[in-house]
Each structure stands twice: as structure tokens, then as C-alpha cells.
Structure 1
Amino acid sequence: MYKDFFGIAESPFSIVPSARFLYLSERHREALTHMLASLSGGGGFGLLTGEVGTGKTTVLRALVARLPQETQVAMVLNPALSAQELLASICDELGLTYPQEASFKALTDCIYRHLLANHSAGKQTLLLVDEAQHLMPDVLEQLRLLTNLETDSIKLLKVVLVGQPELQQLLQQERLRQLAQRITSRYHLLPLTAEEVDEYIHYRLQAVECLHKVFEPAQTRQIARATGGIPRLINLVCDKAMLLACQQATHQASKAIVSQACDEVLSWQLPGGSPEPGAAAPQRRNRVLVWGGALLVGGALSAGIGYQSLQPAGWLSQLQQHFTQHPGDASDVMITAEVASHAAPEPAMVVRRTVPEIELSPEPQPGQPVTMPPPAKIDPEQRWQAVVAQSRSERQAMQTLYRLWGYETRLSQANCETSQRVALSCYQGKAAELEQLRIINRPVLVTLQEPGQPHYYAVVYTLAPEHAELLLGGERVAVSYAWLQQRWQPGYTLLWRPPLGEESTIRYGQRGERVRWLNQHLSLLLGEAPTRSDRFDQVLLERLRRFQRAQDLAADGIAGPQTLMVIDSALNLPGPTLHPEKS
């Protein structure tokens, strides 16, 4: 309707997936890397989860586009099927013929014969199941049985399950434990950050060759806050904003236009009340952490893990209004705004300076007129202390660590012992230098302490060039390395996936499959000709010592947990990293 007005041939914000508008954020690329890694190995299942509208299907399409030509793909988009109907759907996708009243055995035999024929012809067979949270347990078990056909090294059928977070809970059922143990790669997709929302919007406008700068940076941040970084909601809001701009005969979407678009698109998802225009994400509660001093980075941050809300804060929009009216106060203040939900956060606003005292008013009650009662003052120190108070539980921090690996655990099970049940290993190190964490490149749980105060716990989530990002107390915050080093109590806890499921050391004189694995991968990392020897001999000993010296590890010639974790990082094996842009 507005295409002629903006001089474009196609709507840039259609919610219908299109290869022209494929935008992959850092986390989308990391998810894609993990899924491709799971398919290149010998495992049977990959798992991709994320909230509604975060771009799971986008990753799925990008995955298919990057598969080798010798891969045959079967895709099930409507998994609300019985086990027999699922087998028939797979046969249809693979182009197989079968009797109309075929039995379980007939369908299964038909698929098995085709898998063997593909393998003999050098082809890989891949099954993609979208919306997999709708699968019934008996159907999932049938999928597991299909992956039983294998050679000495690989599964003949590989499966990628894509679904909402409920899929993780479904796979925790006792009767599905065998399937859960076969998942070799898990990834939970996060929403876009504020910076990525800006890139996403302009990427789509450039794709249709729009010559007008429809959305200024202030408006893209406004859209990021309102939508929580969910691409589908961003599309709906931007499409509505461009329609409203056309109706008002302007080529630029103003703050008022974006606010109106947010109201019309998102208000139907909100609980009862009178939300501030354009300031609330669907079914979420806003909260703001105002903290000057430790938060020293000027990039837009957001979290993606389900946290319990610290407390509702209806004063977010008033804070933004204050900064609009008093821009000098906003020049150097750091504000992190998030939402409390089971996945998507609200992107943060970031500015710098010591936090001024700002007068705010409480949220109006439903049905009451907006009034301005006596002002309340924000005390940044009290706000920070509230976050720290929410971070006293080490088990809650451990829950966060498990979530980063794609596992939801009960609080009572959030400990190192649980790692063995999900094919992970828990390692507790004694390092006190961040450089050692960079080499291992996995999120870690650390203990922090303010002078004279009890300990509290955080997960180191990202190590950027100039700052670290922590997950604590339901918030994601950026801190300087000096601040973190001053409060970090020596030691850390991390989760990792040991080679071939065994975390014990590999030593000189040993033989077996793990020695062969070490030999092959060290050869790869050192650029040497690989061998298939399964004996830990003098040649492998010297090779291992050279690798350890190159990584500033103790060159003892023993492949212990630290050395194996560094090899894991160097090979970029699946799992959450501290440097997602390098994955």
C-alpha cells in the first residue's frame, strides 16, 4: 500500500520468509555453526530452540542452503502427527513409494533401504523437524529408532529438531532419556540486541533499494525496546510505521509514528492496563538497572536467558522522557533495560557518566488518570545492591550456566553432579587471570565479593575487547576488566563436553580410541600429516608438548582437562563461547 510512496517494488518488512531478507546476527551465525558441526560429525541429533519469532526458521533455511550437494533433505513442517503418519511423511519427503495401508514395519523397512542406498552412493540423509515441541513422546521415540541404523562411525540418518523452549522440557522426560543422550549439539537462540535491530532494519530497507532514511537510530532503539528484539515483531512494527508515515505524507517515521505503530501492533499482546506508548514488550515487565561506575561500555547489550523478575518498574518510560527533556543528563549515564520472560530481553540503552538524581513517578493503575505525585529519587547504589542481593545463590548461577548449554535444570539439580546426566563435564579451576578464560573460551561461573560484603555469583558471558559481560541477578551487565579483577575470588566453574564422553587424562603409553582422537586433532591443529595410530608414543608426546607450549599451558605432555578444553576451543566444537563472533 505504501510501496509507490517510498519508491520500492516490494515490502521490506513482510513476515513471509525470503532469501532476499536473510539477516544473520552473531548468535544466528553461532547457532548455524553448531548445527553444521553436529551434522558433520557422527552424531544423530541436533537441537535448536528459541522463543516465538526469534528466527529459528531463518537459521533452518540458512542451514539447508549451506549443506553439501550430496545431502538429501526431508523436512517435516507439521509434526502434529502420529508415529505412523510421521514415517509416511518422511517417505513422502524422500520420494519413496509405499502401499496405502503400509504397516510400521513396511514404512520403516522402506526408509532403511533408502538410507543404505544413499550411504552407498556417498549421500547424507538429513531430517529437519520444525515446531518439534508438538511431537508426542512416542513419535520422538520412533525418530530415535530410525537413527539406530549406522555404520562403524556415522549415523545413516541425522535429525535436527527445531522448536520453542518447551521442547527442552519435553526431552527431560524419563522415557526420552535415550534420545536426549544422542543430541550432540544444542543451541538456544537469543533475540537481537539494540545494535542488531538497527542493522536488521536498515538491511531490509537496503534489500529493496529504499532511498529514504525511514528510521533514525533513536527510532530503531525505540523499536528494539518495544519488541524485545524479536525479528517477527520488528517486521510488524516497521511495516505499520511505514504505512502510518505514508498516510501522513512523510518519508521518515517520527517518534510519535513509531509509538503509534507499537501501540497498534503490540497492544493486543499486553495485559490489561494503560501501557506507555511504544515502551512495553508483549507480555513482559520492564525493569531498569541504573549503574554508574562499573558499567563503562557504550554498546547496546541484552540478555537471552529466562530470569525471574527483580521487581516491576513502571518508571522506564519516565526515565527516557527525562533524558529527552534533559539531554545533558544522558550524555554519559549507563542504563541497562531488560525484560523478565522465559527468553527474550529488551535491548539496553547505554550512555556514560555518573548517574544524576532523577525524579520519577510510579506507574498509573488501570482506569486511573495519569497524575504526577511527589517525585521519587533513584538511588543507583540501592539498585545495584538489589541486583547483588539476587545473586547470592550459587545454584541459581549454575542454573544460568546450564541454560547456556541448552539444558533446563531444577534448582535442586543445579550442581556439578548433574553434568554427567547430560553428557557434559563440570570442571572447577583455580585460575584468577581472565586471559586463561579467553583460551578455554567457555562461559564460567565466578565468585565475586564487594569489600566487607558476602560473596555473590555471576556467569562470565562474553569477553569483548574492552569489557566483560556478566549474567547476574536477572541482569546482563557490562563491566570493566579492572572492576572484575578486583572483585573476582580466585577460581571458576565451567561446563564442557570431553572428547568421546570421557574426561580422564590421556597419558604416555596408553592406547585406544581417545588416543587416536588426540593424535588426529593435534595433527590438524599443528598443520601436520594426520595419523590413525591409537598408541600414545614419543611422537605424540612431543606433539602434545609443542601444542601446550604454544598455548601457555604447562608442557607436561599429559592431556588433562585443561589441555583437552583448549583443544576443544581451538577446534571450535559445539557449545556456548565467550567470543561468539569468532565461532
Structure 2
Amino acid sequence: MYKAFYGLNDNPFSIAPNPHYMFLSDRHREALAHLTYGLGETGGFVLLTGEVGTGKTTVSRCLLQQIPDNTDTAFILNPSLTELELLATLCDELEIKYGDNPTLKQLTDLISMYLLNNHKNGRNTVLIIDEAQHLRSEVLEQLRLLTNLETNTKKLLQVILIGQPELQQLLKRQDLRQLAQRITARYHLLPLNKDEIALYVLHRLQVAGRHEPLFTRKAIAALHKHSGGIPRLTNLLCERALMAGYGQAKVPIDHKMVNQAAVEVLGDIDVSSDKRWPYVAAAALVLAFGLSFYLFNRSAIDENSNTASVLPPASANVVASGIDNSPMTVTTAVQPPLSSSPAVNAEQQILRQAMLQSSSIDNAFAGLFGLWNKQPIMGLSACQAAQQQELACYQQQGNWHSIMRLNYPAVVYLQDAQANVFYGVIVERQAEQILLQLGEQQFWVNKDWFDRHFSGTFEILWQPDSVLPREIGQSSSLAQVQWLENSLAMVNQRRARLLSQFDSDLEQQLMQFQRQHGLKPDGIAGSQTLIQLNLYLSQQGPRLAAAEVRR
């Protein structure tokens, strides 16, 4: 209806998947690289998670386009199946014939025979399951059993699980630990930032035939605010805003039209952040006063009972931080003893409340900036604010050991028992405990608690010491090759060799480093490899522990 008015030859913001409008942000490309790496190795399971509408299907479609021709692919879109139904669907996708009313064993034998024949003929087999958070635990276990078929070097069936964040929580179940250990690559896809939303909107408009800007800068900011960076929601808001602009015969689309579109699409929208600030400040003061009152009364009780004690940081499990960031130690534990006194219950409640109130990643980044003696900048994303202050952002998928190996304070993505997402900052490490900041409070928690709540995604700030080359490989200058040798030697705590060329030993050292950090082991030090190396070599900024062995 409005296409001629805006000079478009197509509807640019349809939510129907259209390969012509495929937009790959840096995050999507990174997700694609992780999945490609996972499939290129020894097989097993590859995991892609993300919120609804973040572009998981886009990444999976790109992955399908890159799968070699000698690969047979089965795609399951509705995984709400029993074990028998799953195997039958897999047979249907791979065109494996089976009789009426087959048993589980018959289907398993047919699939095993198919996989063996494929391997003998030099063909690979990949199973992709979308909406995998709906898979039952017994079905996941059946999938694991299917991947037991292997040679000395690879699995004969590779499985890609695509799902919402609940899938990560599902795979943390004790009865699925064997499957979780077979995941060779995982990536959690985050929403787009404001700059990426601008590029996303511009890309879709250009594909539809319009090359002039149509949305103002304030309109783009409003789109990002209301959509939260979710591409699907962005499409809905843009579509409604274009309809409004057409009705008013108005170009360009401004932030007021986007705000109105948000009311119509999403319902009531939040009050702007500047109007919310007084309420947030008041709530913070009330929280601080309540916490101080609790600690004061607790101290009085301890003094009267002559049981006051101060535990060392590695033993104390809860630290409450005041508004001025001067921590006050509370001699309590997150993991309570067998006796459940009222005080322990109150302390657990403090932790639970802190978790509930830590749903803003911006607040978590504010805490991370504070550790660098920096601060967020109003109107800029965390990474943009970092760049303005000569820092850089780095996001990675990993576990406890990945974070401790890097030894940087980190914003961590966490989940409670109900799969609600919250964010914290790892401030310090002592042995198997970390100091975790949630909002204005800090808690000593142990590795077990962290492993049960960590979703696998973390982000750090770091300060590059120099401008990095694009890559270092066989054709690079001798100075760059020697720098790479010196850097790997320092990371591995060995003596560096004097090189005259990029030799095979250096290539093997580089590939080993890449494998250890989930990078593609291609023997070329590309941008991700160089960043990872520089994270280790940088002497700038805070660390979790004074000294850390890095391997």
C-alpha cells in the first residue's frame, strides 16, 4: 500500500523469512564461525541459543549454505516428539525406508546402517533441530546414543541444537551431563546494538529499492529502545511506523512515530529513562537504608551474644557493598549450614532479592566500568562508551575455567532456577571462590554455585596496547612472525625461539592455542586469535587474581 509513496519495490519489513533480506551482524558472523568450527572438528553436538527473534534461523540458513555438497542434512522443526517419533522423523528426512509399526531398535539399526554407508562413501550426515528447548530429556538421551557411532577420528552423526535460552538450563540437568560434555561448540546470540539496528534497517530498505535514509537518528534510537535489539520486533515497529508515515504523508520517519508504533505493537511503553531516574535513585536509597539497618541490628545481636567474628574473604560468602562502594563484610554463607536459623534465611533472601534486581545488563556494565575507573556514557552502548575511553569489549562463550584463564573482571550472564536471566560482575577470585557483584551488593560464591547459574556467556573490557594487524601468516613480515612466536612463548611460559620464517613448529603452537580457546585451528593468526593473544599479554587494567597461570 505504501511502497510507491516511499519509493520501494517490495515490503522491506515483512517478518516472513526471505533470503534476499538476510542481514549478518558481527554477532551473527561470530555465531556462524563457532558453528562452522564445531561441525568442522570431530563432530558431536553444536549448540546455538538466543532469545526469540534474535536471528537464530538466519544463522542456521547461512550455515546450511556453507555445508559441503557431500553432506546429507535432516532438519526437524517440531521437536515435541517421543524417541520413536524422533527416529522416524529422522528416517523420513534422510529418506530411509522402514516398515509399518517399527520398533525403536529397528529404526536405530536402519539409521546406524545409513550412517556407516555414508561414511564409507565419503559423505557426512548432519541433523539440525530447531526449537530444541522443547526436546524431552529422554529424547536428548536417545540423540546422544545415536552419536555413539563413531570412527577413530570423528562422529558419524553431527547434531546442531538451536533453541531459546531455556535450552542451556535444560542441558545443565544431571541426567544430561554426558550429552553436555559432547558439545564441541556453543554460542549465545545476543540482540543487536543501536549501530547494528541502524545498519539492519538501512540494509532492508536498500534491498527493497530505497537508498536514501528514511528513519531519523532519534527514530533509530527509539527503535533500539523499544525492540531491545530484537530484529523481529524491529520489523514490526518499522512496518507500523511506515504505515503511520504513509497515513500522514510524512517523510522521514521520526522518533515520535516510532514511539506511537511501539504503543500500538507492544502496548504501554515504559516512561523515558530520564523520568525514571528519580524513582530509581529513591529506590536505591531505600534499599541502602534497609540493608544498613539490617546490618546494624545484626551487629548488635552478635555483640550481645559475644559471637562476633570477621571471616577472611575466601571464607566469607556474602559481602554487601554500600553506595560509596566500600564493602562491609557480613559473616554469612550463600550455601547455608544444616541448621536454618532466621538469620541464615534472611541472608538467603538478600541474595535472592539481589538476583531479582539484577536484570539490567547496563547496570552490570556500570559496575565493570567502575573497576577500570571509567564510567558509562549516557546515550551510548557499553562498547561504544568503552571505545570513547580507549577500551575495547570482548564477548566469549565458555565456562569457569575460560574466565579464570583470562583473569579479567567480567560481566557474566546468569540464570536462576526458573531460567530468569540476571547479570553480575566477577570482581575478584580467591581459590575456588569469586566475588560476584549484583547491583550494589557483592557476594562471595563458590564454583559450584557459579556453574549452576552461569549461562555460558561473558564479556570483558580490555585495553589494547597497540594497533593489531589484520592477520599473521606464512606471508607476513619477519617482525610480525617473531612477535607471534614471542607471544605464544610467553603465554605457554617457555623460552622464545629466534625465527627466520613462519615454520611448522610455530604453526603447530598457534593451532594448539586456537583449539584451546575455541577458535578455528587454521594456523593463521586472524583477528580473533590476535585479540585472544593480546588479552593475555596486556598489562593494563584490573585482574581477578594477582597472578594467574595461563594455558
- Shorter-normalised TM-score: what interval? 0.5 to 0.7
Q: Which residue of 1 aligns with 2:116?
A: 116
The residue that corresponds to 1:96 in the other structure is 96
Partner of 1:302: none
Q: Which amino acid aligns with 2:405?
A: Y
Contact 2:76 2:89 survives alignment (8 Å):
yes
Q: 2:486 matched to which residue of 1?
A: 549
1:377-411 CA distances to partner (integer Å, 9 max, x unpaired)?
xxxxxxxxxxxxxxxxxxxxxxxx9x95366xxxx
What is the match of residue 253 of structure 1?
253
Q: Which runs of 5+ in 2 are unaligned?
A: 285-353, 361-374, 409-424, 430-434, 439-456, 466-471, 476-480, 498-504, 533-551
Q: What whole-Å deviation, never above 9, does each CA across 1:329-385 have from its counterpart, x for those lacking one?
A: xxx9921678xxxxxxx99889989xxxxxxxxxxxxxxxxxxxxxxxxxxxxxxxx
CA shift for structure 1 position 21 = 0.8
Q: Say whether 1:427 aligns with 2:405.
A: yes
Instruction: Give yes or no for the alignment of 1:193 onto 2:193.
Output: yes
The match for 1:223 is: 223
Partners in 1 of 2:26 and 2:272 — Cα distance? 30
The alpha-carbon distance between structure 1 residues 307 and 191, as it changes in their structure 2 partners (threshold 3 A), is farther
1:275 maps onto 2:300 in alignment: no
2:118–2:125: 8 Å Cα contact kept in structure 1?
A: yes
* Cα distance, 1:234–1:567 mapped onto 2, change above 3 Å: closer
Q: Which residue of 2 aligns with 1:441?
A: none
Per the alignment, residue 405 of structure 1 pairs with 397
Matching of residue 335 in structure 1 with residue 378 in structure 2: yes
Describe the SS at the equivalent of 1:237.
helix
After superposition, where does 1:403-482 map in structure 2 within 5 Å?
404-405=396-397, 419=401, 426-427=404-405, 447=428
Deviations 1:76-108 (Å, cap 9, x if unpaired)? 000011111011111111111111211111111
- Aligned partner of 2:28 in structure 1 is 28
The RMSD of aligned alpha carbons is 4.7
The alpha-carbon distance between structure 1 residues 352 and 166, as it changes in their structure 2 partners (threshold 3 A), is closer
The one-letter code of the counterpart of 1:276 is: V
Unaligned runs of 5+ in 1: 290-305, 313-331, 339-345, 354-400, 408-415, 431-443, 449-454, 459-473, 483-523, 528-543
> In structure 2, what is the Cα distance between the partners aligned to 1:112 and 1:335?
58
Q: Give CA-to-partner distance per residue, 1:386-442, whole Å, 9 cap, x none.
A: xxxxxxxxxxxxxxx9x95366xxxxxxxx5xx5xxxx7953769xxxxxxxxxxxx
Partner amino acid, structure 1, of 2:84: Q
Shift of 1:175: 1.0
Q: Pick closer, same or farther for the CA change 1:261–1:581 going to 2, 3 Å.
A: farther
Q: Deviations over 1:99-142 (max 9, x none)?
A: 12111111111111111121112111000000000000000001
Deviations 1:158-184 (A, max 9, x none): 000000111011111111111011001
CA distance in 1, matches of 2:264, 2:91: 44
Q: 1-side partners of 2:93 and 2:74: how far apart?
A: 5
CA distance in 2, matches of 1:148, 1:117: 16
After the TM superposition, which parts of structure 1 deviate over 6 Å for at least 4 consecutive aligned residues?
277-280, 346-353, 455-458, 474-482, 524-527, 544-547, 562-565, 580-583
- Looking at structure 1, the residues matched to 150 and 427 of structure 2 have their Cα atoms a distance apart, in angstroms, of 42
Which amino acid letter does the alignment assign opposite residue 156 of structure 2? L
Q: 1:132: which partner in 2? A: 132
Distance (whole Å) between structure 2 residues aligned to residue 131 and residue 30 of structure 1? 21
Maintained 8 Å contact 2:47/2:186: yes
The verdict on how the C-alpha distance between 1:108 and 1:428 changes in structure 2, with shifts beyond 3 A counting, is same
Q: Per-residue displacement from partner, 1:10-34 (whole Å, max 9, x unpaired)?
A: 2101111111111111111111001
- Structure with bigger helix share is 2
Q: TM-score, normalised by structure 2?
A: 0.59
Number of aligned residue pairs? 377
In structure 2, the CA distance between the partners of 1:229 and 1:130, relative to structure 1 (3 Å rule), is same
* 1:436 alignment partner in structure 2: none
Residue 167 of structure 2 corresponds to which residue in structure 1? 167
Letter in 2 for 1:335: M
Q: Note if contact 1:526-1:547 (Cα within 8 Å) is conserved in structure 2.
A: no
CA 571–165 in structure 1, closer or farther in 2 if over 3 Å, else same: closer
Counterpart contact for 1:38–1:46, Cα < 8 Å? yes
SS of residue matched to 1:335: coil
User: Alpha carbons of 1:112 and 1:212: their partners in 2 closer, same or farther (altered >3 Å)?
Assistant: same
Superposition pairs for residues 33-44 of structure 1, below 5 Å?
Answer: 33-44=33-44
2:71 pairs with 1:76: no
Would you say the 8 A contact 2:220–2:255 is kept in 1? no
Asked whether 1:202 is paired with 2:202, we answer yes
- Counterpart in the other structure of 1:503: none
Distance 2:115 2:88 in 1: 15
Output the amino acid matched with 2:185. S
Amino acid at match of 2:136: M
